[in-house]
Structure 1
Amino acid sequence: MPLETHQASAMDQMKRTGQRTTDRISGSWMTNQPNPLLCCRLKCWPRNRKGTRDSARATRGRRVPHGPIPPLNSFQMTPTTPRVLAPPGSSSGTTLTAYSSAIGWPPYVVMHEFDADRLGEKANSTSQHRYHVGGPRILVTAFPPFSDFETNVSQSVLEQLDVDGIDGLDVVTWMLSVDKAGSGAVAAEIRAGIEVDGVLHLGLAAGRTGISLERFARNRYSMTKPDNSGRLQESGSIVHGGPETLVTTAPLHILDEEFEHDTDVQWSDDAGGYVCNETIYRTLNELQASNGPTLPAILVHLPPESEVPLEDQVAAVIRIANCLVTRPRYEVAAALLFDDQGRILSCCRPKGDEWGGWWEFPGGKINPGEDAPAALLRELEEELRISPEPKEKVAHIDYDYDDRTVNLQIWNCGSIEPKSITLVEHDSARWLSRDELLQVKWLPADLPIIEKWFQEGLPESSRLR
């Protein structure tokens, strides 16, 4: 019986017997709801609820459901009403009966006997979801152990997120089966009209020493071991006729900024040839084919806990999740530096950077616990190998990029000797007079300040020399 029909039957039975619906529906979202609705799909909560405005939809082209959202749990019934985890007509894997779980399995995805053995009691857990209603909604997926691995760190991270949640986010957790059906489960939900703000796939990379943000998904199989259904696909295309390579839709610049100084997190250009790569490829391919706004989606490969402790991996995943579905606000301090002719220093971002070829004031983000002068001095030492003293804030602007807001402060640091500069992070530098200010392509946040100085003149530097 399809899950929707099964759930409707259970609801009818409860109405006939007069039993409270909250007694037999798993998940804390049902508590104190006067007319609770059953849900097994991300898309099926009513969109046009009383009191909901169109402005409730988020920015950056994300699809956001209206009104309260139940947790995504493919089997929300309690142990008194089991369901069979098998698609109609499926012959793959072993069909098992399972009950409500804090971590859901996608609808119509087979739980193989191998998966159930490894999950143990977790496959029949009746614990409740803990999640946040009202914030951006993110779907986080992981895998159980596979091959000869006794554990899978992605599962451990998912379990921790399911218990603790993420402050400010509505976190939906799914355990995907390690097989073809599991790899296509999220793609199927996208096809059906998924309503989340982002998709974060987690997987184990046993041979890596750090957390890998996978930039690409490849349309190829290169399995060296069978998946949990016994499938061994050593070559061939994942999607016949699909693009050879798909790029993550995650905000690259935001992730770059977030993990700029984190040695445990790196970008990777090779997601491998196993089920993890197959999963992110199917997800990205479906997003590309869909007519709706593109959701941010990424695969993150996690190393064994012996390489990076579990608590550190959970913390990193939380930061990644926030990067996917929230709009960050960066506090930035930048330097106004003069030479002995009264010209100001501009620096060109390097090739390969998202803003490569654009010009900016030297400086950078203010870290938590820092004030602007201390942050600026640190950045100038890192970028230019100089240590001038920031003495006066001469400009300030809030600028909204498409994916973030920058609160930029410009501090007058007086005059320096041009030969004292060593470019570490920039391709080139120029000293510009007032008349030359618009001869370079300034970053959008810097440009309004530059245009004002072009019209009104540069700030005075003599008293700071």
Structure 2
Amino acid sequence: MTTVLLTAFEPFASADRNPSWEAARTVAEEWAGDATVVAVCLPVEFEGATVAITRALDTHRPDVVLALGVAEGRTAITPERIAINVDDARIADNGGARPVDIPVVEGAPDGLFSTLPVKAIVQAIRDAGIAAELSASAGTYVCNHVFFTLQHALRDASARSGFIHVPASPEMRQADVGPTMEQTAITAGVRIAVETALTHATDVVVSEGTVH
């Protein structure tokens, strides 16, 4: 049976919740399709997230991986096209680390593309009446760190993988959070993304999935 791994993050900074984890947990709990869907919560820590996602890949041996994170200020669910090989933290992570201009993986390519059907995911979410856009930047914080770590770990594997940012939710209860999307819509969008990843071939065609 096909296994789908959903990863998402714990709350960070002053937020009460992280909508990425609320969505991942709910989709996994409510999943009734043929595939097995498992959800793993990652720490908002550069080093800790690497350890956690590596352990999750080793434990579950997934066929499809959708890593999720929240992007405050965005108004749509945004599948990411490319991970870049740099950590450059504007603020410290939950463990106090604040790397500046260092590679995620020393000696790895400058960038690695998603192998999810990102355009099909965007269209399917839009067709359901939920805002979605394709994004070309996952930033340089822990989300991008996980995205690059994931793509590098699976670079020679048959599994398809990538990263999706979701907007903030009202339940985060964080000052100046900016625009929000209801948690029910975020969760529905993530569920559609999983369904689309299972039924569509990748629509990103790049030699070896790398950028040099």
Q: Same fold (TM over 0.5)?
A: yes
Which protein, 1 or 2, shows the higher relative CO under an 8 Å CA cutoff with sep ≥ 6?
2
- Gapped regions of structure 1 (runs ≥ 5): 1-133, 329-352, 356-465
Q: Which residue of 2 aligns with 1:280?
A: 147
Which residue, 128, 131, 143 being the options, matches 1:264? Answer: 131
Does structure 2 retain, via aligned residues, the 8 Å contact 1:140–1:172?
yes
Please state how far the C-alpha of 1:287 moved relative to its aligned partner: 1.1
Taking a change above 3 Å as real, the CA distance of residues 265 and 253 of structure 1, as seen in their structure-2 partners, is: closer
- Does 1:298 find its partner at 2:165? no
Q: Which residue of 1 aligns with 2:89?
A: 223
Does structure 1 retain, via aligned residues, the 8 Å contact 2:130–2:185?
no
Separation in 2, partners of 1:156, 1:279: 18
Please, which moves more after superposition, 193-202 or 142-151? Answer: 193-202
**DSSP 3-state at the match of 1:186:** helix
Does structure 2 retain, via aligned residues, the 8 Å contact 1:183–1:276?
no
Does structure 2 retain, via aligned residues, the 8 Å contact 1:143–1:178?
yes
Aligned partner letter, 2:186: Q
Aligned partner letter, 1:282: T
**DSSP 3-state at the match of 1:318:** helix
Which residue, 45, 48, 59 being the options, matches 1:181? Answer: 48
Does structure 2 retain, via aligned residues, the 8 Å contact 1:147–1:225?
no
- Does 1:316 find its partner at 2:189? yes
Q: TM-score, normalised by structure 1?
A: 0.39
Taking a change above 3 Å as real, the CA distance of residues 137 and 148 of structure 1, as seen in their structure-2 partners, is: same
- Does 1:154 find its partner at 2:27? no
Which residue, 207, 226, 249 being the options, matches 2:115? Answer: 249
Aligned partner letter, 1:272: G
Q: Which residue of 1 aligns with 2:102?
A: 236
Separation in 2, partners of 1:142, 1:326: 22
Separation in 2, partners of 1:327, 1:299: 16
Taking a change above 3 Å as real, the CA distance of residues 354 and 145 of structure 1, as seen in their structure-2 partners, is: closer
Aligned partner letter, 1:167: G
Instruction: Output one character per residue of 1:180-220: Cα deviation in whole Å (capped at 9) or x when no partner.
Output: 12234334554x48522200111111121111111110101
- Gapped regions of structure 2 (runs ≥ 5): 171-179, 206-212
Separation in 2, partners of 1:277, 1:209: 19
Q: Which residue of 2 aligns with 1:197?
A: 63
Please state how far the C-alpha of 1:354 moved relative to its aligned partner: 7.3
Where is the helix percentage greater, Structure 1 or Structure 2? 2
Instruction: Output one character per residue of 1:109-138: Cα deviation in whole Å (capped at 9) or x when no partner.
Output: xxxxxxxxxxxxxxxxxxxxxxxxx5x320
Please state how far the C-alpha of 1:175 moved relative to its aligned partner: 0.7
Alignment of 1:102-181 (within 5 A): 134=1, 136-179=2-45, 180-181=47-48
Separation in 1, partners of 2:118, 2:17: 30
Taking a change above 3 Å as real, the CA distance of residues 215 and 159 of structure 1, as seen in their structure-2 partners, is: same
Aligned partner letter, 2:120: I
Does structure 1 retain, via aligned residues, the 8 Å contact 2:9–2:43?
yes
Separation in 1, partners of 2:146, 2:61: 19
Following superposition, which runs of at least 4 residues in structure 1 exceed 6 angstroms of deviation?
none
Alpha-carbon RMSD: 2.4
Taking a change above 3 Å as real, the CA distance of residues 305 and 226 of structure 1, as seen in their structure-2 partners, is: same
Separation in 1, partners of 2:164, 2:118: 13
Separation in 1, partners of 2:3, 2:169: 27
Q: TM-score, normalised by structure 2?
A: 0.81
Taking a change above 3 Å as real, the CA distance of residues 239 and 296 of structure 1, as seen in their structure-2 partners, is: same
How many residues are aligned here?
193
Does structure 2 retain, via aligned residues, the 8 Å contact 1:214–1:268?
yes
Q: Which residue of 2 aligns with 1:214?
A: 80
Taking a change above 3 Å as real, the CA distance of residues 323 and 274 of structure 1, as seen in their structure-2 partners, is: same
Please, which moves more after superposition, 237-246 or 142-151? Answer: 142-151
**DSSP 3-state at the match of 2:154:** helix
Taking a change above 3 Å as real, the CA distance of residues 248 and 327 of structure 1, as seen in their structure-2 partners, is: closer
